[in-house]
Chain A
Amino acid sequence: MHITVHYLTQIRRAAGCASETLDVPTDCTLEVFLHQLTERHDPAFRALLVDDANVIRRSLLFFVGDDHVELSRALRDGEAISILAPMAGG
């Protein structure tokens, strides 16, 4: 199935693109999908997404469509994910 991911803020810079579409297995959860993403990109991107123990960072926000979701969320064909590295610019 096809999943599109949109990168926001610092994640966009690290990814080098605003969005991309991946082909993933049908039983894929958000967490599995995110780990697949880390394998496609460079260490700077990986460091934003996972910690030293390869655990997805809890300080990131993940949305499917417009809904804030948990890592266990099962993905469905055609869905769009947004990843937000939160901002604090003031």
Chain B
Amino acid sequence: MNRAYHLCMHSFSLTDDERAIYEWQLWVQGFGEAGQLRLKQATVLITRCGGVGGTLAYYLAAAGVGRLVLAHAGELRSSDLNRQLLMSHAGLGKSRAEQAADRLRAFNPHVEVVPIAENISLDNAERLVAMADLVASCAPLFPERLHLNRYAVAQGKPLVDCAMYEMEAQLTTVMPGRGPCLSCLYPSEPTAWQRQFPVFGAVAGTVGSLGAMEAIKVLAGLGEPLVGRMLLCDLATMAFRTMQLRRDPACAVCAGVQSASRAP
């Protein structure tokens, strides 16, 4: 079992209604009420809440993560609706972040949802990462992911990086000081990536669901998160591989960073 990421402890407890909602996951071995309380006390920043991030946010709301910060600029377009499950046809032309927040609040009123109609930039990344215990990186552009990585490492916050292309997906978890960060993997920005990419909603949703499970594991101290490893999924052949990653000792972002995590 991995070491649970340290969270600020508050005098939280579960209500009877919450125990009823989460009853079936409280049965998961090694989770129980202590794990549920860890989720309830946690704040997760999700950038953005489209095909991947929206699914991830949905499952974190279902699991009872206490506070979800959704960073996503812009208004809903028709071409978003093949994958962005938190949206609706009625919301075309309206704020994506607000729609996503409304859907999550309706789904689980016990979860506090904070919509922020901004995408990640150098100007806001430090502030938004500071709001969270864990960062879910689901943006469609590498600069956004690398800004998040930089401040997640600087603030000692775990980052779950979820991405897809066409029928393939990749997932890794950055634990500052315990494994490679995104800058170890991509010391220069990948140049071939284009903003518009081929996508089935089910592929985006698959890696979003896997990313939600990574976040739950890190927050609750369950299982073995993908620290120093990358899951590659090819949904065309249904081949899943777990690759071993190297940390770059000369990394411009994480060289010399020691682990900030500790046992609960």
Chain A positions near chain B (C-beta within 8 angstroms): 8-10, 47-48, 57-61, 63, 66-70, 82, 84-90
Is B165 an interface residue when CB atoms closer than 8 A count as contact? yes
Residues on the B chain within 8 Å of A87, using CB: 163-165, 168-170, 193, 197
A61 to chain B: which residues have CB within 8 Å? Answer: 185, 230, 243
A68 to chain B, nearest CB (A): 5
Given the complex, which residues of A lie within 8 Å of B241, measured CB to CB? 66
Is the pair A88, B188 in contact by a Cβ cutoff of 8 Å? no
| A90 contacts across to B, CB distance below 8 A | 48, 50-53, 138-140, 162-164, 204
A61 to B241, CA, bound (A): 14
Closest 5 CB pairs of A and B: A59-B190, A87-B163, A90-B138, A87-B165, A89-B164
Name the one of A8, A68, A88 contacting B141, with C-beta atoms under 8 angstroms. A88
Nearest A-chain residue to B186, judged by Cβ: A59
Which residues of B pack against A, CB within 8 Å? 48, 50-53, 138-142, 145, 162-166, 168-170, 185-193, 197, 199, 204, 230, 232, 234, 241-246
Cβ contact within 8 Å between B199 and A84:
no
Report the Cα distance A88→B169, complex, angstroms: 9
Contact status B190-A67, CB under 8 Å? no
The docked-state distance in angstroms from the alpha carbon of A59 to that of B162 is 17
Asked if B232 and A8 sit within 8 Å, CB to CB, the answer is yes
Evaluate contact between B243 and A58: CB separation under 8 angstroms. Answer: no
**Contact across chains for A89 and B163 when beta carbons are under 8 A apart:** yes
A84 touching B170, Cβ below 8 Å: yes
Q: Nearest-CB distance from B66 to chain A (Å)?
A: 24
Among A47, A58, A90, max chain B CB count under 10 A is at A90
Number of A-B contacts (CB under 8 A): 91
CB-based contact B186/A89 at 8 Å:
no
Chain B residue numbers with a CB within 8 Å of A47 are 192
With A85-B193, A90-B50 given, can you name 17 additional A-B contacts, CB distance below 8 Å?
A: A48-B192, A57-B190, A59-B187, A66-B244, A68-B230, A68-B244, A86-B142, A86-B170, A86-B190, A88-B139, A89-B52, A89-B163, A89-B164, A89-B165, A90-B52, A90-B138, A90-B140
Residues of A within 8 A of B140 (CB): 88-90
A88 touching B244 by the CB < 8 A rule? no
Given that A48-B192, A59-B187 are contacting pairs, would A88 and B245 also be in contact in the complex, using a CB cutoff of 8 Å? Answer: no
Partner among A48, A67, A84 whose Cβ is within 8 Å of the Cβ of B244: A67
Q: Which residues of B contact A9 (CB under 8 A)?
A: 165-166, 168
Q: How near does chain B come to A10, taking the closest CB pair, in angstroms?
A: 6
B184 CB to closest chain A CB (Å) equals 9
Q: Which residues of chain A are near B245, meaning CB under 8 Å?
A: 68
- Pair B168/A58 contact, Cβ less than 8 Å: no
Most buried by B among A57, A60, A70, A86: A86
The distance from the CB of A53 to the nearest CB of chain B, in whole angstroms, is: 13
Asked whether, in the complex, the Cβ of A63 is within 8 Å of the Cβ of B243, the reply is: yes
A85 to B51, Cβ gap below 8 A?
Answer: no
17 A-B pairs with CB atoms under 8 Å apart are: A8-B168, A8-B234, A10-B165, A48-B192, A57-B191, A58-B187, A59-B187, A61-B230, A67-B244, A85-B192, A86-B185, A87-B165, A87-B170, A88-B139, A88-B193, A89-B204, A90-B162
